[in-house]
């Protein structure tokens, strides 16, 4: 679990976000933008194509969302 607090106007201009990853998957929530990304790091190691919302990844997405919520609660980041 990680929470990236810096955002624009930082030099790198990476939007604020938090996320969680497993050995194979990475889930990211850009909370200021209301956008989500889910990457299959085995099939897409460069994180070029999000599979968030893809029916083939429905179970993985649900599992990663639950893992993220559990960790955010554990760290008091809700």
Q: Where are the domains of the chain?
A: 33-78
| Residue 7: predicted pLDDT | 64
Q: How far apart are CA 66 and CA 38, in angstroms?
A: 13
pLDDT tens for residues 8-55?
Answer: 666 777 888 999 999 999 999 999 999 999 999 999 999 999 999 999
Give the CA-trace dihedral at 26, 61, 2, 16, to 10 degrees: 90
Selection from 65, 73, 71 nearest residue 25 by Cα:
65
Res. 72 pLDDT band, cuts 50 70 90: very high
Find how far residue 77's CA is from the centre of its chain: 15
| Residue 6: predicted pLDDT | 74
| Residue 51: predicted pLDDT | 99
| Residue 32: predicted pLDDT | 92
């Amino acid at each position: 679990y990680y929470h990236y607090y810096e955002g624009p106007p930082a030099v790198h201009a990476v939007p604020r976000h938090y996320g969680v990853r497993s050995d194979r998957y990475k889930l990211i929530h850009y909370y200021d933008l209301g956008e989500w990304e889910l990457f299959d790091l085995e099939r897409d190691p460069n994180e070029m194509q999000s599979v968030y919302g893809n029916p083939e990844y429905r179970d993985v997405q649900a599992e990663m969302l639950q893992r993220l919520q559990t960790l955010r609660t554990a760290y008091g980041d809700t």
